[in-house]
Structure 1
Amino acid sequence: MNRKAIIFHGTGANPDVVWLPWIRARLAERGFAVEAPHYPTLNVEPIATFLPKVLANHSFDEQTVLIGHSGGAALLLAVLQHIDTTVSQAVLVAGYCTKPNTSDEPVLQDDYDWAAIAAHVRDIYFINSRNDPAGCDDRQGRAMFERIGGTQIVRDDGHFGDVDQPYPTFELVDRLIG
Structure 2
Amino acid sequence: MGRRAIIFHGTRAQPGWIWYPWLADRLRARGYDVETPHHPGLNVEPIETFLPGVLDAHTFDEDTVLVGHSGGAALLLAILEHLDVTVAQAVLVGGYSTNPNPGPEPVLQDSYDWEKIRSHVRDIVFLNSVTDEAGCDVEQGRAMFDRLGGTLVVRDDGHFLTDTIEIADRLIP
Distance in 1 between the 2:82 and 2:40 partners? Answer: 21
Structure 1 unmatched runs, 5+: 162-166
Structure 2 unmatched runs, 5+: none
1:70 to 2:77 alignment: no
> For residues 59-98 of structure 1, what are the alpha-carbon distances to aligned partners after superposition, in whole Å with 9 as ceiling and x for unaligned?
1111000000000000000000000010000000000000
Correspondence 1:1-178 to 2 at 5 A: 2-161=2-161, 167-178=162-173
**Distance apart, 1:171 and its partner CA:** 2.4
**Distance apart, 1:122 and its partner CA:** 0.4
**Distance apart, 1:174 and its partner CA:** 2.7
The answer (yes or no) to whether the contact 1:91–1:173 under 8 Å persists in 2 is no
User: What one-letter code is carried by the residue in structure 2 that aligns with 1:102?
Assistant: P
**Distance apart, 1:107 and its partner CA:** 0.1
Distance in 2 between the 1:33 and 1:75 partners? Answer: 21
Distance in 2 between the 1:4 and 1:174 partners? Answer: 16
**Distance apart, 1:29 and its partner CA:** 1.1
TM-score (norm 2): 0.98
**Distance apart, 1:170 and its partner CA:** 1.3
Distance in 2 between the 1:94 and 1:173 partners? Answer: 13
The answer (yes or no) to whether the contact 1:73–1:96 under 8 Å persists in 2 is yes
Percentage identity across aligned positions? 66
Distance in 2 between the 1:76 and 1:173 partners? Answer: 18
The alignment yields a C-alpha RMSD, in angstroms, of 0.7
**Distance apart, 1:169 and its partner CA:** 1.1
> For residues 36-60 of structure 1, what are the alpha-carbon distances to aligned partners after superposition, in whole Å with 9 as ceiling and x for unaligned?
1001110000000000000000011
User: What one-letter code is carried by the residue in structure 2 that aligns with 1:142?
Assistant: R
The answer (yes or no) to whether the contact 1:3–1:31 under 8 Å persists in 2 is yes
TM-score (norm 1): 0.96
